[in-house]
């Protein structure tokens, strides 16, 4: 019997038994073994990003949003101006948290089913010299859309501005190389494509920018510069680290490498996504995004228009069968989401789709068209 429940969500995700087993011992946070583990995790994260001596990895207690808020609050100078590129809820969240810390922020927006257009970013940067930094989401988990992060980064760099990348739902599965993509910070977390348990946020930051950021932060606990100085000084975390969570993250990073790193993991997710989309289409469902914009991370489906369909009923019946799906997060269309990430294998996807087919039939849904 495969692992159930299976989380077909954007995270936290289904984890491997080996990863959960790593939670099963205690660690002294000032002990050499724990300090060595912290160093090993930081190095593995840098390797995944193809980052060399120009970059450093800072680990932070908390969920992914803590890492985003910490990176922006520390690396965006007090008199900086951040332009956020928005085509979903996670772009909106970056606007909200930057406003909250009292920094200057503006935005450039697209509909939730359209990718960010690098040329529009280029034109806006040309017109407004006050913009110092740009922020973009790599995979917009709201819809599952893949933004052209390489093109965006190229334009931002050619205009001499700095880039923050929310790579939360992409890091470890979709290519993002510091050798090819110029950025000041990538933000991600332990519990998405690395398949750790929740509790650690991470930032891969440009050392020169971080070194110049002392005193920028609006918060002590979210001061990325201070956290970095602490880690560099003695290898220790400033405040109580999530010790067991880091041990699970360490185990998850080993499993990631064993699967073949970004290529291997991304390959499994692509196959999951392909089977999910194919299977759901065979049942008559329609995807929200065209295939050309779909990232192999999470898929948004239109809810069927048939009055016999009810999301709650589908959710509860699938949950009883061991499959946890996710409601939609779009501002307009009626949708629901199914994830392709975590310890989920193509055969699991086939079983989940078969379960959807059974439930739809039990509900008496004649057509799955939106």
CA dihedral 148, 153, 159, 162 (to 10 degrees): 130
DSSP state of 65: H
Q: Find the shortest distance in angstroms from Cβ 97 to ligand PLP.
A: 11
Instruction: Please answer whether residues 137 and 174 qualify as being in contact, where contact means their C-beta atoms are separated by less than 8 angstroms.
Output: no
* Residues near 177 by beta carbon (within 8 Å), at least 6 away in sequence: 49, 50
Shortest distance (Å) from residue 166 CB to ligand PLP: 5
**Dist. CA 227–CA 211, nearest whole Å:** 12
Strand partners, 58: 203
- Separation of alpha carbons 86 and 136, rounded Å: 7
Q: CB-wise, 338 or 360, nearer to ligand PLP?
A: 338
3-state secondary structure of 173: coil
Nearest CB to ligand PLP, comparing residues 137 and 368: 137
d(CA 202, CA 220): 17
Look at the alpha carbons of 147, 50, 107, 330 in this order and tell me if their dihedral is positive or negative. Answer: positive
The distance of Cα 48 from the centroid of its chain, to the nearest Å, equals 14
Closest-by-Cβ residue to ligand PLP is 64
Nearer to ligand PLP, 35 or 63 (CB): 63
Minimum distance of ligand PLP from residue 136's CB (angstroms): 10
Shortest Å, Cβ 40 to ligand PLP = 23
Angstrom distance (rounded) from CA 360 to CA 366:
8
Contacts of 233 (CB under 8 A, 6+ apart): none
* DSSP class per residue in 234-258: HS--SS---HHHHHHHHHHHHHHHH
Q: Which is nearer to ligand PLP, 174 or 355 (CB)?
A: 174
Residue with the two structure tokens 């991470």: 202
Cβ proximity to ligand PLP: between 137 and 185 the closer is 137
CB of 134 to ligand PLP, least distance (A): 16
Would you tell me the crossing angle of helices 118-127 and 149-158 to the nearest 10 degrees? 20
Q: Which is nearer to ligand PLP, 191 or 243 (CB)?
A: 191
Answer whether 170's CB lies under 8 Å from 186's CB. Answer: no
The residues, any chain, with a CB within 8 Å of residue 334's CB and separated by 6 or more, are 302, 303, 328, 370
| 86 vs 217, beta carbon nearer ligand PLP | 86
CB of 41 to ligand PLP, least distance (A): 17
Output the smallest distance, CB 126 to ligand PLP, in A: 28
User: Quick one: which of 252, 359, 368, 254 has its CA closest to 301?
Assistant: 368
Closest contact distance (angstroms) between CB of 83 and ligand PLP is 18
Q: With respect to ligand PLP, which residue has the nearer C-beta, 61 or 141?
A: 141
Task: Between 144 and 241, name the residue whose CB sits nearer to ligand PLP.
Answer: 144
For ligand PLP, which is the closer residue by CB, 90 or 326? Answer: 90
Q: How far apart are the first and last CA of the chain?
A: 35
Least gap, CB of 352 to ligand PLP (angstroms): 20
Residues forming contacts to ligand PLP in the complex (CB under 6 A) are: 10-11, 63-65, 90, 137, 141, 166, 168-169, 189
CB of 70 to ligand PLP, least distance (A): 12
């Amino acid at each position: 019997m495969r692992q159930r429940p299976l989380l077909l969500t954007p995270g936290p995700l289904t984890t491997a038994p080996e990863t959960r087993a790593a939670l099963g011992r205690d660690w002294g946070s000032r002990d050499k073994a724990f300090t060595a583990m912290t160093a090993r995790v930081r190095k593995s994260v840098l390797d995944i990003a193809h980052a060399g001596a120009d970059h450093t990895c800072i680990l932070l207690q908390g969920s992914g949003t803590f890492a985003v808020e910490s990176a922006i609050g520390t690396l965006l100078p007090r008199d900086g101006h951040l332009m956020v590129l928005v085509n979903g809820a996670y772009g909106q969240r970056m606007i909200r948290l930057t406003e909250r810390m009292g920094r200057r922020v503006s935005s450039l927006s697209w509909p939730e089913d359209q990718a960010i257009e690098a040329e529009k970013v280029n034109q806006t940067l040309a017109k407004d010299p006050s913009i110092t930094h740009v922020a973009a989401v790599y995979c917009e988990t709201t819809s599952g859309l893949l933004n052209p992060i390489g093109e965006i980064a190229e334009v931002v760099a050619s205009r001499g501005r700095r880039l923050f990348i929310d790579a939360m739902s992409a890091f470890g599965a979709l290519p993002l190389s510091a050798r090819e993509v110029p950025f000041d910070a990538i933000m991600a977390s332990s519990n998405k494509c690395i398949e750790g348990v929740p509790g650690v946020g991470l930032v891969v930051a440009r050392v020169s920018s971080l070194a110049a950021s002392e005193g920028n932060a609006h918060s002590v606990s979210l001061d990325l510069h201070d956290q970095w100085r602490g880690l560099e000084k003695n290898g220790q975390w400033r405040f109580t680290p999530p010790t067991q969570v880091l041990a699970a993250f360490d185990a998850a990073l080993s499993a990631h490498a064993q699967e073949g790193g970004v290529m291997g993991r991304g390959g499994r997710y692509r196959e999951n996504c392909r089977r999910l989309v194919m299977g759901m289409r065979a049942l008559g469902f329609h995807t929200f995004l065209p295939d050309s914009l779909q990232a192999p991370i999470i898929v948004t489906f239109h809810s069927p228009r048939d009055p016999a369909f009810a999301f709650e009923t589908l959710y509860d019946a699938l949950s009883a069968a061991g499959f946890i799906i996710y409601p939609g997060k779009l501002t307009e269309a009626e949708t629901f989401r199914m994830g392709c990430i975590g310890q989920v294998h193509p055969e699991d996807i086939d079983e989940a789709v078969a379960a959807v087919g059974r439930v739809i039939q039990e509900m008496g849904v004649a057509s799955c068209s939106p």
